[in-house]
Chain A
């Protein structure tokens, strides 16, 4: 038999198998639910539902000092879009609101505020609700900022009174921070959450869906039935991957369209590189899915392992929510082992920063290495199990 006819046989068998797999995929509505409905739901949740930005945080203001100076501090708070100040009659009432978690913070302006302000010794009290630490920190920072700004304005207004003293001393300026937020000038969390969503969706489709479906075939013995036909294990695996690859690509396209059109996330880098790296990561995810199913050969175990190995780590350890720079070394090392971390870094850079070649080459090389290793391992495990 010539090499040509063997090769033709390969393509013919692959085509037949792929047709079978596609039909099998389309037959069950639940596959489409995870392949198409879930990405849509997630896009909406990520684009509109998740936000780490604080706005209109209710803050109780206890004004114990009736002077105009104290009232002026309160109006300073009203300027900020971060809070919505709620006037409260007494500290007792404010604490009750805090216990019910109806407010995020209390600002208390004590009765001696204006008299001590005249003596340059004014103090006021801020109590934040610490149960949500991240939010509390933001509220606290902005409160301090708003009060500090008021103080600066107030000091300027009081300038004539102190002019005599400052005139004697030589003038002295101050260092002013000029901030430039690169890649995300508005510092909107949507811009960094939506690119991350692509990672989550590819992980779910690739690893979770594939692991389940293939484990099911192992459990029911339908895969072994295929092995006794003339098709080779490699052909079976490739044919299995193709439909899920397609589902993953559809999810990717949906995310890209939503990111650009719905959420106006800029696309600074090249789309081609983004597609190439996404394909690489999809292969990694498919490899993980195949490997899980070939090792467990059991739907229950495969689903639990896939859940634990894909979704939660991709969300918690990949730098998606929590910056890996701030975590202990061991956890950072675990994060670096995950392919999702590298894809996350790459995709955010491509969306927001542009074509940073050192980063692109490093991350693509890592992803490619993972893809080759995982798929080869899956192929190896499949052959061994057959013997």
Chain B
């Protein structure tokens, strides 16, 4: 290709890009829908996403009414996490407070607490937990057990008895010292939220023209399928990167999640991911006869893509067959890449294992879409 034809190529693509951007952005409602939700969702979900217990309403049935039980409960209250919402008088009341979700857990302390302790016996403390949400139940159980363990130790120490746990565990958490769920989720959202809307936008681009009959007009212009493909792909790539940037800003500056890696590496990864998702979107678009089909196929694809990406549940927890299915999921690589660059600060050479699959997805889907533009009409 000589210099002149290269310029002509660039001019034709630029004209199409301009037309596409106008089609996307000329409607004020469209501008709002492509910018505002990214910010609102990242804020809301950033606050919502927590597996950490911050507020556990509990009920107490204290049949011993002893200094020991009072002290133990005071320790529980002192954590700031447990809030007593009910003091019960009878065992039957436990069912009421748990069933109606007034309390997440109920603690029952038997009448013989003090005498059992002084007799050297194990004094049972009954813990009834609402496990409708298994995750919260597990955390609450671990939390109460830790408080009781610590109290047991201090009871023994006060009496000068040897304590049962002489091993001190020094714990450190790499990449996320306080183990905050938000640190894990927000980088994942940078990739996920930008993909949701970009994929839908791309899937609709060709389908809309097909439905309105303008795609035939586009095909009879001097534009080659390659140029149409590039012209159709660039605007959504720009939209996707803009959305990713907005969520990145919220993550970094609103939530203050420290960024360990370099912006250059992050953007190389995000660009590759957006190109791959636009390729998927364009392929859906080229396969669909009209906008409705494009939207529905996109949605049928989106849900498994998000659910099997590792955003909310780890890929490692999935059964083998589904883990293999995730190999074709661009979001899986993107989330892994963003998390590693953002939290762990790894360099480009480490995330090559994510970049290559993304590149393969792009190299397969983009030419396939360009080919489908023309061959579907036949």
Contact = CB atoms under 8 A, between A and B. Distances in A.
A binds B: yes
Interface of A: 28-31, 33-34, 37-38, 41-42, 45-46, 48-55, 98-99, 101, 117, 120-138, 140-141, 143-145, 147-148, 150-152, 155, 162, 165-166, 169-185, 187-189, 191-192, 204, 208-209, 212-213, 216, 296, 298-301, 303-305, 307-308, 311-312, 315-317, 319, 321-328, 330-331, 334-335, 345, 348-349, 352-354, 356, 358-359
Nearest to B153: A174
Interface string B305-328: 001100011100111001000000
Interface string B105-139: 00000000100111111111111111111111111
B100 interface: yes
B320 to A, nearest CB: 10
A166 B129 contact: no
Nearest to B24: A300
Contact of A175 (B45, B98, B130, B148): B148
A317 B44 contact: yes
A41 B325 CA distance: 12
Interface residues of B, number: 116
B333 interface: no
A189 B138 CA distance: 10
B101 A176 contact: no
Contact of A173 (B123, B144, B145): B123
B77 interface: no
Given A175-B117, A326-B54, A147 B169 contact: yes
Contact of B44 (A169, A216, A331, A359): A331
21 contacts: A48-B318, A48-B322, A49-B318, A54-B317, A124-B167, A128-B179, A130-B173, A130-B177, A130-B343, A131-B174, A134-B51, A152-B164, A155-B166, A169-B161, A173-B116, A177-B144, A179-B141, A182-B129, A299-B204, A300-B291, A316-B48
A51 B308 CA distance: 11
Closest 6 A/B residue pairs (Cβ): A171-B120, A130-B176, A184-B131, A130-B173, A123-B168, A30-B296
Contacts of B176: 130-131, 133, 136
B292 A51 contact: no
B132 A130 contact: no
A34 B300 contact: yes
B166 A127 contact: no
Given A120-B166, A137-B179, A305 B33 contact: yes
A331 B131 contact: no
B30 interface: yes
Interface string B345-356: 010000000000
Interface in B15-38: 27, 29-30, 33-34, 37
Given A208-B299, A326-B55, A176 B45 contact: no
Given A48-B322, A300-B30, A326-B55, A151 B127 contact: no
B63 interface: no
A277 to B, nearest CB: 16
Contacts of A123: 167-170
A312 B102 CA distance: 27
A171 B322 CA distance: 55
